Amino acid sequence: MVFLVRPSKAAFPEFHGEDTELRWALEQIKVSRLIGGYVWTVGDAVLVIQLYPASMDWREEDHPAGFPKHIASVGPVRAQHLRDPGLIGKVESILRKSDIILLLREQDGKSCILNELHGQRIYEQNGHMQDSTAVHVPCDQIWGRPEVPPELSDADRLMINELLRTPPSRPKFIRRGK
């Protein structure tokens, strides 16, 4: 008996927006929060959207009391995070001069966490320092926020609105004692 195993395409990243130098840099990354969602590139800015909970994520009810549910930060990209570690100098220089905006939709499907992280911050600040600038806003009010790139096209804004309105995914495992 012979089994053929075909590698499956990862669900993320899902790139949208402009084909920029920043997108090229992001495409070189194999592991990072920067590519763990829906990624819009516009000029020197990237908007990374993550919808919680994913079907395998912990739910809010799974977190111990006092444990932060979502941290709106990005760790620095290192050579081991790249498909070709030799590109670290070029990738890092592009990321350092970029604007990185995280948009995390929370479990209720209506609340969002928004954080603008200039590329330099992901290399110089730890997660708690980055997270301290995050703001909680209703998802339907993100467009008035200064953190969101105004250059996004109407079609991109419509697509993002639809994405934010999708219902949270159902859990893939049964929780005991809940």
> Quick check: 56 pLDDT over 70?
no
Mean pLDDT of 157-176: 81
Asked whether residue 53 is assigned to any structural domain, the reply reads yes
Tens of pLDDT, residue by residue over 16-43, are 999 999 999 999 999 999 998 999 999 9
**How many independent structural domains does the chain possess?**
1
Asked whether residue 59 is assigned to any structural domain, the reply reads yes
Asked whether residue 171 is assigned to any structural domain, the reply reads no
pLDDT of 129 reads 94
Q: Are 44 and 22 in contact (CB under 8 A)?
A: yes
What pTM, to 2 d.p., does this model score? 0.82
Asked whether residue 101 is assigned to any structural domain, the reply reads yes
Q: Is 144 left (phi over 0), alpha (psi -120 to 50) or beta?
A: alpha
Asked whether residue 9 is assigned to any structural domain, the reply reads no
Tens of pLDDT, residue by residue over 107-134, are 888 999 999 999 999 999 999 999 999 9
**Domain of residue 113, residue span:** 14-165
